[in-house]
Structures are given as C-alpha cells and as structure tokens.
Structure 1
Amino acid sequence: MTIGELAKAAGVNVQTVRYYERMELLPATHRWPGSGYRDFDDDALSRLRFIRSAKDLGFTLREIKELMEMQFSPGESCAEVKRLLEDKQQELDRRMLEMRRLHRALGKLITACRRRSTKTTCPALWAIAFKARG
C-alpha cells in the first residue's frame, strides 16, 4: 500500500508516517523504481497501530521504540514491559498530583476575582505578579 493508504488505514497523516520512518519506528520499505513510491505491507500497518495505541497510553516515542524492540524481538520480557508500565503509571500519578495542585491554585485565584471589591488591580494578576518576583 502507498504511504497515503497506510496513513488513512492507521488514522494518521502522511507526515506522521514519514516522521516515524525517520525515527526508525517503521522499518525501511520497498520503493518502486522510477517513481520512488513506498510500498508498505501489513506489518507496517500493525506497527503504526501499535505506535498509536502506545501513544494513547502516554508513552513517548523513545519508550515506544523500547516496547517495540521487546515486542518484535525473540525473548520479549514481560517483567521488563511490566516495569515500563509501572514507571508510566507512577509518572501519571505525579502529573495528576501536580494537576490537582494547579487546580486548587487556580480556584483560589478565581475566588479572589469573585470577591474583588474595588476597581483596582485584579487580585489574581497581583498574586501572579507577586509570585513571579520570588
């Protein structure tokens, strides 16, 4: 299949396929003499779908490459995959904690704006500027 057909089947754009090729997440593929068109096979589609699925779980391209090496090489290690999944889950826990902290901070600023009693400087802008001064 052509790069356009592959991209459409995987639900990505052509530039994404080209980028993944440059990042060596997709193997080099046959090019037709004369036209230079790429000829992708079902393995390329499977790999592209794997990449999308892993990205949906929050994995970086570096991590996806590592997962793919485990998947497509003999002797894949379930323990190693489990470690990567646990690391990703811990990272997500840290990010969720940070998001909750930011949510609370924004809530306080919103409350300060609602309670504003004068036409002076917005209390939220004042708080942001004060924090920026260190």
Structure 2
Amino acid sequence: MPNASPELLIISELAEHTGTTPETIRYYERVGVLPAAHRQGNGRYRRYDATDVRRLTFIRRARDLGFSLDVVRNLLHLSEQPDHPCDEVDRLAREQLVAVDRKLEQLLTLREALSQLTQCCDSGHAMSECRILSSLGAPGRA
C-alpha cells in the first residue's frame, strides 16, 4: 500500500529510514521501547511519524553501541527529563565502555588461542592426524 500521507510512514519505510527491519520494529513495540504504532486502513497498517523515526534511530544507535534493551529503556526515560543533570547517562556510558574493554580483552585472548591452534596445523594430513582436533580433544579420538 503506497504511503497516503507524507508525514506518516509504513513499517517498511520506517525500517529503511532507520536501518532496521520490520521484524525488529515489531519486536521493539512488543518489549515496550517503541510505542505501539498508529493504525490506519481498518487497523491493518502501522503508521509512524517523525517522533517514531527519532526514537527508533536513538534505539538503534544505542544498541549499536552495545547497550542492553533495559539500559536503552532507561536512557529513553532519562532523555525525557531535559532539566535533570546527565550524571546517570554518563555513568551508564562509562559502564558500557568498561564492558566493551572487557570484551576486547576476551576477544584478544580468543584470537591468541586460535592463532596458536592454526600455527600447529600441518595441512594435508588425514583428519585422524589433525593437530587442531587433537588440541580440542575431539570426542572421536582415543
């Protein structure tokens, strides 16, 4: 169905504008971080306005930074209190930075382990002689 009103978007248009998918939008509505859409066409078609675009863009950016949906919900709530100090937002961002640093350390450890595994591989041998599988303790080995 074509967009009947230039200021209202259907779900596929909202998804395109915000770099998400219709499934993600429906999920965000179900979990309550995005308000239920206005309905048109006998309630069949969801319609979204500029406020929805801004909110979904905010949600997507926060999720891209790794914030959980609970934290996103909190950030949305805090963003609706413009006169309050931003200490809480700063604290949440710093906590996320610590979490990202921790994940980076874990990934570097994982990378080193994989690098060592691949260096011990002598390609061209039979699977029964694979050093990577041996290092992993393959279940089919004695």
TM-score above 0.5, yes or no: yes
Q: CA deviation at 1:35?
A: 4.1
What letter corresponds to residue 43 of structure 1 in structure 2?
A: T
Which of the numbers 61, 74, 82 marks the counterpart of 2:90?
82
Q: CA deviation at 1:118?
A: 9.4
Q: CA deviation at 1:117?
A: 9.0
Instruction: Sort the Cα spacing of 1:26 and 1:127 in 2 relative to 1 into closer, same or farther, 3 A.
Output: same
TM superposition score normalised by structure 1: 0.83
Structure 2: unaligned runs, 5 residues or longer: 1-8
Q: Which residue is equivalent to 1:126? A: 134
2:33 counterpart SS class: coil
Structure 1: unaligned runs, 5 residues or longer: none
Q: Which residue is equivalent to 2:19? A: 11
Q: Is the 8 A contact 2:122 2:131 kept in 1?
A: no
Instruction: Sort the Cα spacing of 1:100 and 1:125 in 2 relative to 1 into closer, same or farther, 3 A.
Output: same
Q: Is the 8 A contact 1:116 1:123 kept in 2?
A: no
Q: CA deviation at 1:70?
A: 0.8
Q: Which residue is equivalent to 2:58? A: 50
Instruction: Sort the Cα spacing of 1:83 and 1:119 in 2 relative to 1 into closer, same or farther, 3 A.
Output: closer
Q: Partners of 1:63 and 1:56 in 2: how far apart?
A: 13
Q: Partners of 2:123 and 2:18 in 1: how far apart?
A: 51
Bigger helix fraction: 1
What letter corresponds to residue 102 of structure 1 in structure 2?
A: L
Instruction: Sort the Cα spacing of 1:36 and 1:128 in 2 relative to 1 into closer, same or farther, 3 A.
Output: same
1:113 counterpart SS class: coil
Q: CA deviation at 1:114?
A: 4.0
Q: Which residue is equivalent to 1:105? A: 113
TM superposition score normalised by structure 2: 0.79
What is the number of equivalent residue pairs in this alignment?
130
Q: Deviations over 1:24-74 (max 9, x none)?
A: 111123222624322211100000100111112111222211111111235
Q: Over aligned residues, Cα RMSD in angstroms?
A: 2.5
